[in-house]
Amino acid sequence: MAKTGTTTQGLRAAIERSGYYPALVAEAVEAAVGGEPIASYLVHQETTFDANEVRRHVTVLVLTATRFIVSHTDEQNADTTSPTPYATTSTESVKLGRISSVVVSRVVANPESYQPGTLPREVVLTVGWGAVSRIDLEPAACGDPNCDADHGYTGNSTADDLSLRVSEAGDGPETVRQALHFAQALSEATAATR
């Protein structure tokens, strides 16, 4: 489930509608936003299955005139560190000028008959600002099949600070539309800071 909008009251209502520890999530997000007006937001609640456990997770993205705020809240079962279930909430505030990329990947069915304005089946929003990078390495090789020399490694470094996936099948068409709306607002805001 995802919700998007532009007001503080709307953000709180969307967090409450997600039904995922709304008081905890709202307090963390509102503290990060402070008194700054909200330009856009997206609330995405996701349920995942991990072995024999069901886990819930909520991501709240907020765009202000100067910042991109990311909040994640995860629930954990009782474990060796805690005899009772608990939740972990984190927020990160990124200046818009630090955002280096906003990638919107769209998965479209039957691309040969695609009509402009048709919603994709799936949208993945990836935002990079340099806090987290993923490095994929593999042994380098030369063209000689008989060569056994060490040629070092080759690979790619990819900015991967945030990746959020929504799909029509799992989240509904309105959620896909909302994710596209937020992605456009974020992209426009980062372009304006250049």
| DSSP conformational letter for 116 | T
* pLDDT value at residue 160: 61
Positions of the chain with pLDDT under 50: 1
DSSP string, 54-105: EEEEEEEEEEESSEEEEEEEEEE--BTTBSS-EEEEEEEEEEGGG--EEEEE
* pLDDT value at residue 6: 59
* pLDDT value at residue 1: 42
Other CB atoms within 10 Å distance of the CB of residue 192: 9
* pLDDT value at residue 55: 76
* pLDDT value at residue 157: 63
pLDDT tens sequence across 115-129: 999 999 999 999 999
Helical residues (DSSP H) of the chain, grouped into ranges: 8-18, 22-33, 168-171, 173-192
Global pTM reads: 0.81
* pLDDT value at residue 126: 93
* pLDDT value at residue 131: 67
